[in-house]
Amino acid sequence: MVTALQWLGQWAMGAVHKLGRAHLFALHALSGFPQVLVRFPLLVVQVYSVGVLSILLVAISGLFVGMVLGLQGYNVLSDFGAEESLGVMVAASLVRELGPVVTALLFAGRAGSALTAEIGLMKATEQLAGMEMMAVDPVKRIVAPRFLAGIVSMPLLAAMFSIIGVLGGYFVGVGLLGVDEGAFRSQMQAKIDFHEDIVNGVIKSLVFGVIVTWIAVFEGYDAVPTSEGVSRATTRSVVYSAFAVLGWDFVLTALMFGKD
């Protein structure tokens, strides 16, 4: 009993300590953002490796998620003779929830893990210490451009996911199942609100972008500098990102769409 309490206390202390380090680290990285904007090529390279290289994965996933939504939505809606509303259902699910959330989960697996492993290995091979001794701040030079690239890329990827998903739903609904094309489009246009749905979805994806990239770069920078340490950090990066995204999605949804 006592040892269990002791263990719990130790764990909680460790967690709080780590959370504090993560916040100081984020502030430090944030202070490097102006410098990144001045040296724009540094950011472009990272947007390419973090964002552009994730496009194919996100596009294919978006297409299939949209197609599945089209199929399932048709099955339910046709029971009520409401298959014309398929467009609204597909678009609303994607823009409000699936776009930001699934993209963030994919992004954590594709880009977040790569960031953690890269930074962790740079630490393990003394590259970060070497930079410090060359009077170059590794948090500003290495972490800040990657952090910013993740924040920039995530909303764009989520938007792309939603758009391609709607096209996939349209293809299944209108193309294969014979839903009326005009109804699909006009209902979607009438019911999807710019502020209520699209802006909120973009805010979600932005928040998830910050969370996932933050966890990824921090876990890499905080990794134990051995091969085992880096591999653990990479696993943690993906697991924590998934938890954080799903948890924050509930909080954000409650704030945005809860009864007012």
- Say whether residue 125 binds other proteins (CB under 8 A): yes
Beta-carbon contacts of 218 under 8 Å, excluding residues fewer than 6 positions away, are 21, 22, 25, 26
- Say whether residue 229 binds other proteins (CB under 8 A): no
For residue 113, the minimal CB distance to other proteins (Å) is: 18
Tokens describing residue 39: 């040296």
Closest CA to 248 of 147, 99, 101: 101
For residue 139, the minimal CB distance to other proteins (Å) is: 11
Beta-carbon contacts of 185 under 8 Å, excluding residues fewer than 6 positions away, are 87
Burial 72-81 (b: 16+ CB within 10 A, else e): ebbeebeeee
> Using CB under 8 A, which of 110, 141, 191, 236 touches other proteins?
141
**Binding residues with other proteins: total (CB under 8 A):** 14
Ranges within 32-91 binding other proteins (CB under 8 A)? none
- Say whether residue 136 binds other proteins (CB under 8 A): yes
Q: How big, in percent rounded to 5, are the helix, strand and coil portions of the chain?
A: 90, 0, 10
- Say whether residue 127 binds other proteins (CB under 8 A): yes
For residue 54, the minimal CB distance to other proteins (Å) is: 19
For residue 49, the minimal CB distance to other proteins (Å) is: 10
> Using CB under 8 A, which of 1, 5, 38, 133 touches other proteins?
133
Contact (Cβ atoms closer than 8 angstroms) between residue 99 and residue 201: yes
Please report, as ranges, the residues that interact with other proteins according to CB under 8 A. Answer: 122, 125-127, 129-137, 141
